[in-house]
Amino acid sequence: MSQSIVELKHVNIYQSNTLILSDVNISVEKGEFVYLVGKTGTGKSSLLKTMYGDLELTEGEGWVAGHNLRELTWKNVPFLRRNLGVVFQDFQLLTDRNVIENLKFVLKATGWKDEKLMEEKISDVLDKVNLKTKGFKMPFELSGGEQQRIDIARALLNSPKLILADEPTGNLDPETSDEIMQLLFHICKDYDTCIIMATHDYMVINKYPARTIKTESGKVWDNASITV
């Protein structure tokens, strides 16, 4: 096995008993930025869910961040997810607590116990997304772009080898989308973090070109050419 962060070989992906994607072969290296595109219902989300252990892999071989997807159980899925960051379109921040408490909740859920180390880590990730002064704000006090930055900060908490970003610019205006894309490319380049980003936004892809993988007709096409 290579030093790939994601390695899928002859993988078949199912939702319930329905075959969604067949014979998937993907290799993604450390520090690589990859777009995942495809129409709604073509399997983008199913592919991401397989990578972060939400869908069981039953056919083919798969490794993500050094974890064998065929050997995942509900007990060891958390160990996989400590090596991953997941960024959602709808932020999924806890609305009843401030930014710092949101981030602390994730650290505690992934096994952190030392209060001082947690404080230092939270300060570090807020600094990386340029929101160090917003720690005591509640989510509703932040703009959409700021909430997405907090979501990215949350994904960085465990210094992941891989970030899976599901439509991270989907609900943002073009200017804010630009800021988020620049931040993601900065994280990819400066921290050698592999990022796989699902998107419908071809304007973003044209402006920030990178390798593109496409789901279509039950297959995954690597280095797909994108025509708008």
Using the Cα atoms of residue 96, residue 99, residue 105 and residue 106 in order, give the sign of their dihedral. positive
Statement: residue 4 has pLDDT above 70: yes
* % of residues, the chain, pLDDT over 90: 79
CATH number for 31-54+81-210: choose from 3.40.50.300, 1.20.140.10, 3.30.450.20, 3.40.190.10: 3.40.50.300
CA separation for the pair 14, 58 (Å, rounded)? 9
Confidence of residue 43 (pLDDT cuts 50, 70, 90): very high
- Determine the average pLDDT of the residues in 84-106: 91
pLDDT attached to residue 225: 59
Statement: residue 147 has pLDDT above 90: yes
Statement: residue 227 has pLDDT above 60: no
Question: Would you say 128 and 156 are in contact if contact means Cβ atoms under 8 Å apart?
Answer: yes
CA separation for the pair 182, 201 (Å, rounded)? 15
The structure tokens 């931040």 sit at 183
pLDDT attached to residue 170: 87
Statement: residue 197 has pLDDT above 90: yes
Question: Would you say 103 and 127 are in contact if contact means Cβ atoms under 8 Å apart?
Answer: no
- Determine the average pLDDT of the residues in 72-86: 88
* Radius of gyration, alpha carbons of the chain: 17
Range in 82-96, 111-125, 143-157, 214-228 with the lowest mean pLDDT = 214-228
Q: Where are the domains of the chain?
A: 31-54+81-210
pLDDT attached to residue 91: 74
- The kind and range of the H/E element at 99 are helix 99-109
Question: Would you say 56 and 72 are in contact if contact means Cβ atoms under 8 Å apart?
Answer: yes
User: What does the mean pLDDT of the chain come to?
Assistant: 92
pLDDT attached to residue 208: 95
pLDDT attached to residue 228: 42
Express each pLDDT in 210-225 by its tens digit.
999 999 999 999 985 5
Confidence of residue 1 (pLDDT cuts 50, 70, 90): very low
DSSP code of residue 30: T
Statement: residue 2 has pLDDT above 60: no
Statement: residue 102 has pLDDT above 60: yes
